[in-house]
Amino acid sequence: MSIYEIIVQVFLGVVLADIASGFVHWFEDTYGNPKWPIIGKWVIEPNIVHHEDPLRFTKGPFLRRNQAVFGIALVFAGLFALTDSLNVLTVTFLIAGSYANEAHRWAHLPTHAVPKAIRALQHVGLLQSAQHHWAHHRKGFNTHYCSLTNMMNPFLDGLHVFRLIEGVLEGLFRIKPRYDREAYQHPTLGRRWIAPTRRLACAAAFHARVRLNAVLTWPHRCFGLNSFA
Ligand SMILES: [Zn+2]
Ligand SMILES: [Zn+2]
């Protein structure tokens, strides 16, 4: 493998880890419930506490603040090993993904507490800068979900990827984002702007579901069989 191929695979591994950090974070913020078994206490609750008190998680011991993400990385490492797919790209993905929470922590620390090499990487956007991450906290916790670099948030937010998925999940399965539900409404989340993209995706997915349901139940309706709708 040439040096160029290694560089490309390392870069792709970091990009994929950044996207993965965004999806995990989005899921936590949008659907996570602290009452869920195991991950409710170890993943969702600390995430809610972080929105209320952003600096608290920066003070804990290294292992405690990273245990959830290391656990997820171990599961993926096992899957890659079992499927014989450990290579430069997947190993970079695992290492970079494991450090997503540390990158998040560096983005919250005061400048003087961040090592110079890390500051240089933050400056060029290869690690997430404080200013970039603060947009997540400032804008109602519904943008800038990726926490490793500054590279992928502009694409995912610009394309309304998360609002589209939320809309499709709501239209198909009636799964509402956490901030819409009466049963679990965290005060710090407040009222959030419901993007037109999400409403459109929801309407389109609901329409598709109704059409599909009509097609699936057609023989039953025509031949007088019991509907399973
Ligand atoms: Zn944060
Ligand atoms: Zn968040």
pLDDT in tens, the chain (229 residues): 899 999 999 999 999 999 999 999 999 999 999 999 988 988 889 888 898 899 988 988 898 888 888 988 999 999 999 999 999 999 999 999 999 999 999 999 999 999 999 999 999 999 999 999 999 998 778 899 999 999 999 999 999 999 999 999 999 998 888 765 443 444 444 445 567 888 888 899 999 999 998 888 877 777 766 544 4
- Say if residue 40 is in the same domain as residue 135: yes
Total-model pTM: 0.85
Q: Tell me, what's the pLDDT at 225?
A: 62
- Say if residue 146 is in the same domain as residue 202: no
Residues with CB in 5 Å of ion ligand 2:
29, 141
- Say if residue 174 is in the same domain as residue 117: no
Q: Tell me, what's the pLDDT at 10?
A: 97
- Measured distance CA(63)–CA(70) in Å, rounded: 9
- Say if residue 173 is in the same domain as residue 132: no
- Say if residue 74 is in the same domain as residue 176: no
Q: Tell me, what's the pLDDT at 125?
A: 96
Q: How many domains does the chain have?
A: 2
- Say if residue 147 is in the same domain as residue 169: no
- Say if residue 13 is in the same domain as residue 53: yes
Choosing from 100, 134, 158, the residue where a domain stops is 158
- Measured distance CA(65)–CA(14) in Å, rounded: 21
Q: Tell me, what's the pLDDT at 154?
A: 96
- Measured distance CA(210)–CA(56) in Å, rounded: 47
Choosing from 114, 143, 158, the residue where a domain stops is 158
Domain that holds residue 36: 3-158
Q: Tell me, what's the pLDDT at 190?
A: 41
- Say if residue 36 is in the same domain as residue 141: yes
Choosing from 104, 133, 158, the residue where a domain stops is 158
- Say if residue 151 is in the same domain as residue 197: no
- Say if residue 149 is in the same domain as residue 167: no
Between helix 3-31 and helix 45-52 the angle, nearest 10°, is 80
Contact indicator for 78, 60 with CB cutoff of 8 Å: no
| Position 101, amino acid | N
Q: Tell me, what's the pLDDT at 223?
A: 73
Q: Residue 135 CA: which ligand is closest?
A: 1
CA of 141 to the centre of ligand 1 (A): 9
CA of 85 to the centre of ligand 2 (A): 31
CA of 114 to the centre of ligand 2 (A): 21
Contact indicator for 130, 107 with CB cutoff of 8 Å: yes
- Say if residue 120 is in the same domain as residue 168: no
Query: What is the separation of C-alpha 53 from the centre of its chain, rounded to a whole number of angstroms?
Result: 20
- Say if residue 19 is in the same domain as residue 61: yes
CA of 105 to the centre of ligand 1 (A): 7
**Residue located via tokens 């790209």:** 89
Candidates 176, 177, 169, 171; CA nearest to 213 is 171
CA of 85 to the centre of ligand 1 (A): 32
Sign of the torsion angle spanned by Cα atoms 120, 123, 124, 128: positive
**Residue located via tokens 């797919």:** 85
